[in-house]
């Protein structure tokens, strides 16, 4: 690689952020950490600041920011501590930043990710909710500001690698007929349907293959994660819903595939480790060492595939429905899911209540697609209120 690239990591204390810093540590001369951000984890962000010495550290929670400031001053760190949501947008669009790792979970990542796009950065998108919520508006921001958008989700990164170059949204011209989006099926793939009521948060976050945060792990168990990825894929690669097929693949070895009109199917394989897509996005169009072990096909031994059962994975069906309906429905889908998952993790609802809460929010959402960020945020808030009201009433 050439000159050192300035990096901003939105959500540096989460799984993606930690893995990004791990990859950067292997190529310390190629990347300069400009900004690290977190919500409330003072201790971990302090450790990261002392090791990587960023110009800025952002804590959304102002009280936590004060604690971080005190800790860094005591350690003689020169990192400037900022607080509040607006500071996320400031560091994501800062002149010293070339690449933004967009790893904030949920709707909270939308505004800083948009700020990065509008500032013409390389946006390494690990936050699928940005595209689920804002779709065309986000993609237009990328195009109009000559920004780069590289997917970090292992599935979309795999699709990106298996697509013809350049990936320009006119896939039929290149012979692309279908995207085959793989998913493990989560920890309850074989569990009897009548026992799903009894699932605990501890069981739901115990993913069989991947190490992920709690929210994403629950989404994987319901397969809402795959539903959100279907919507994201449609926007990223400018394909219709009918061109995306979900394939259950328990081994998580094939991360996704692209089918062509000549009968070819191109697949990207690898061990289930997020450092592979992170390294790919950091070095693109080159490749660098990620620290991930080489895939041993003899250890894998077999590759299995199944069709998804939409009775088992009701959330997956709701995601397909929402994208067909339009933008407001997708916003409602994401907002209600975030509320439902948080309530499940807090033991306020059952695992099987999650799709019921989402379905109710979809029924209340208006038709059409918003074209202003204010309307998107208003619908997000409205759908959260709807989900919370449903939970209280039931």
On the 0-12 / 13-18 / 19+ scale of CB atoms within 10 A, 353 is middle
pLDDT of residue 356: 98
Residues 207 and 187 sit within 8 Å (Cβ to Cβ): yes
Section 47-52 average pLDDT: 97
Helix (H) or strand (E) segment spanning residue 255 = strand 254-260
Task: Please provide the average confidence, as pLDDT, over all residues in the chain.
Answer: 93
3 pLDDT exceeds 90? no
d(CA 24, CA 202): 32
Q: CA angle 178-135-89, nearest 5°?
A: 130
Grouping H, G, I as helix, E, B as strand and the rest as coil, residue 58 is strand
Secondary structure (DSSP) of 285-349: TS----SPPPP-HHHH-----B---TTTTHHHHHHHHHHHH-HHHHHHHHHHHHHHHHHHHTTSS
Report CA Rg, the chain.
20
Encoded tokens for 352: 């099987």
Query: Phi and psi for 54 in degrees, rounded to 5?
Result: -70, 160
Closest CA to 386 of 355, 363, 352, 354: 363
Encoded tokens for 74: 């005591």
Query: Phi and psi for 58 in degrees, rounded to 5?
Result: -115, 130
pLDDT of residue 166: 58
CA distances from 144 to 33, 140, 141, 324, 394 (A): 26, 6, 5, 26, 46
pLDDT of residue 171: 62
Give, to the nearest 10 degrees, the angle between helix 327-345 and helix 354-364. 150
Query: Picking from 158-172, 240-254, 264-278, 346-360, which range would have the lowest pLDDT averaged per residue?
Result: 158-172
d(CA 389, CA 394): 9
List alpha helices for the chain, DSSP H: 15-25, 42-52, 62-74, 85-92, 110-118, 129-144, 154-162, 201-204, 214-222, 224-237, 275-283, 297-300, 314-325, 327-345, 354-364, 373-393
Query: Picking from 25-39, 149-163, 172-186, 319-333, which range would have the lowest pLDDT averaged per residue?
Result: 172-186
**Topology adopted by domain 5-151:** Rossmann fold (3.40.50)
pTM attached to this predicted model: 0.92
Question: How does residue 359 score in pLDDT terms, banded at 50, 70 and 90?
Answer: very high
348's CB contacts (< 8 A; 6+ apart) are: 391
211 pLDDT exceeds 70? no
pLDDT of residue 174: 80
Encoded tokens for 25: 């540590």
β-strand pairing of 254-260 with 176-183: antiparallel
Encoded tokens for 162: 């298996």
**Domain ranges within the chain, ordered by starting residue:** 5-151
Which residues, in sequence order, are bridge partners of residue 33? 7
252 pLDDT exceeds 60? yes
Total residues belonging to the chain = 394
CA atoms within 13 A on the CB side of 367: 2
Section 236-247 average pLDDT: 94
pLDDT of residue 173: 65
Cis peptide before 167 (omega within 30 of 0): no
111-376-135-278 Cα dihedral, nearest 10 degrees: 30
Question: How does residue 99 score in pLDDT terms, banded at 50, 70 and 90?
Answer: very high
In 10 A of CB 241, how many CB atoms?
14
d(CA 106, CA 16): 13
Closest CA to 371 of 137, 106, 62, 42: 137
């Amino acid at each position: 690689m050439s000159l050192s690239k300035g990096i901003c990591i939105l959500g540096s204390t989460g799984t993606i952020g930690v893995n990004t810093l791990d990859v950067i540590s292997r190529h310390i001369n190629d990347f300069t950490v400009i900004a690290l951000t977190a919500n409330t984890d003072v201790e971990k962000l302090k450790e990261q600041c002392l090791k990587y010495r960023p110009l800025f550290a952002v804590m959304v929670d102002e009280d936590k920011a004060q604690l971080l400031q005190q800790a860094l001053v005591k350690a003689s760190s020169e990192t400037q501590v900022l607080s509040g949501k607006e500071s996320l947008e400031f560091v994501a669009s800062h002149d010293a930043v070339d690449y933004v790792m967009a790893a904030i979970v949920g709707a909270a990542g939308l505004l800083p990710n948009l700020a990065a796009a509008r500032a013409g950065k390389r946006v390494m998108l690990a936050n699928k909710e940005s595209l689920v919520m804002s779709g065309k508006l986000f993609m237009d921001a990328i195009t109009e500001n000559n920004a780069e958008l590289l997917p970090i989700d292992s599935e979309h990164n795999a699709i990106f690698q298996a697509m013809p170059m350049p990936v320009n949204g006119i896939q039929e011209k290149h012979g692309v007929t279908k995207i085959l989006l793989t998913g493990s099926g989560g920890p309850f793939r074989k569990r009897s349907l009548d026992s799903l009521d009894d699932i605990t948060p501890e069981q739901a976050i115990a993913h069989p293959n991947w190490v992920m945060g709690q929210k994403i792990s629950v989404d994987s168990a319901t397969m809402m994660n795959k539903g959100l990825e279907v919507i994201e894929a449609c926007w990223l690669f400018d394909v219709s819903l009918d061109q995306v097929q979900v394939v259950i693949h328990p081994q998580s070895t094939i991360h996704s595939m692209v089918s062509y009109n000549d009968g070819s199917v191109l697949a990207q394989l690898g061990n289930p480790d997020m450092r592979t897509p992170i390294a790919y996005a950091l070095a693109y169009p080159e490749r660098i060492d990620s620290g991930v072990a080489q895939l041993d096909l003899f250890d894998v031994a077999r590759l299995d595939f199944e069709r998804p059962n939409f009775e088992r994975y009701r959330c997956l069906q709701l995601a397909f429905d929402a994208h067909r309906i339009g933008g407001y429905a997708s916003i409602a889908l994401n907002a209600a899911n975030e509320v439902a998952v948080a309530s499940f993790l807090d033991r306020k609802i059952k695992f099987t209540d999650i799709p019921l809460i989402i379905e109710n929010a979809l029924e209340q959402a208006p038709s059409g697609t918003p074209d202003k960020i204010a309307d998107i945020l208003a619908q997000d808030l409205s759908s959260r209120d709807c989900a919370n009201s449903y939970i209280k009433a039931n």
